[in-house]
């Protein structure tokens, strides 16, 4: 069963609806013991990095999430939840993350001319697969996903970038992954059939 971590900073309704459509059993919890006992975890997130990590610490979620990662069970971060997998973030200061996928969260590049992408990056973007990540190829010719973000993870090891988009001339990771840990910068739960298909494949159905 999947545990959706409730730390007061995630869009639990949309994620729950997506899991219902897929027929996946799940529960929502802010109990660190319940989270620690789960073999598959979704870490959602909307808002500011520092505030979200403060809430994770307040709820004593750090050790459970690290224990899940150590024993090889699955953690999937979505949007801000994906950023929290990184080592640190430079959003409104310098904040420590979970350090499950080494890297740094930085602001997206601003446009250099009027035709560029305005920040925050909001809308549908086609994600290109990287480093042999084959799940995108199973979803259709051009997998588009819905993004809402001003910051993104820059992985310390390029091999951890599994999918990317181009924002104002720079390659920005859209999917990151290392062993049993995955992060989606976009919202698969708000990306229609292609997003649901990606969630299904990520969870092995």
**Catalytic residue set:** 79, 187, 189
Nearest to 145 by CA among 87, 185, 106, 116: 185
- Start-to-end C-alpha separation, the chain: 13
**CB within 8 Å of 59: residues ≥ 6 apart:** 7, 30, 32
The three-class DSSP label of residue 185 is coil
As beta bridge partners, residue 152 has 106
């Amino acid at each position: 069963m999947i545990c959706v971590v409730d730390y007061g900073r995630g869009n639990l309704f949309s994620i729950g609806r997506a899991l219902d459509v897929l027929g996946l059993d799940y529960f929502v919890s802010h109990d660190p013991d319940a989270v620690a006992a789960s073999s598959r975890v979704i870490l959602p997130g909307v808002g500011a990095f520092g505030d979200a990590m403060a809430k994770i610490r307040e709820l004593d979620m750090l050790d459970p999430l690290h224990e899940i990662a150590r024993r090889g069970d699955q953690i999937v971060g979505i949007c801000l939840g994906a950023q929290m997998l990184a080592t640190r973030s430079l959003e409104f200061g310098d904040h420590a993350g979970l350090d499950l996928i080494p890297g740094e969260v930085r602001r997206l590049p601003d446009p250099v001319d009027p035709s560029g992408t305005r920040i925050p990056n909001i809308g549908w973007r086609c994600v290109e697969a990287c480093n042999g990540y084959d799940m995108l190829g199973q979803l259709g010719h051009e997998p588009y996903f819905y993004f809402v973000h001003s910051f993104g993870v820059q992985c310390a090891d390029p091999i951890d970038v599994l999918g990317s988009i181009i924002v104002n001339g720079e390659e920005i990771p859209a999917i990151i992954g290392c062993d049993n840990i995955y992060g989606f910068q976009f919202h698969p739960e708000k990306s229609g059939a292609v997003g649901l298909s990606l969630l299904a494949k990520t969870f092995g159905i």
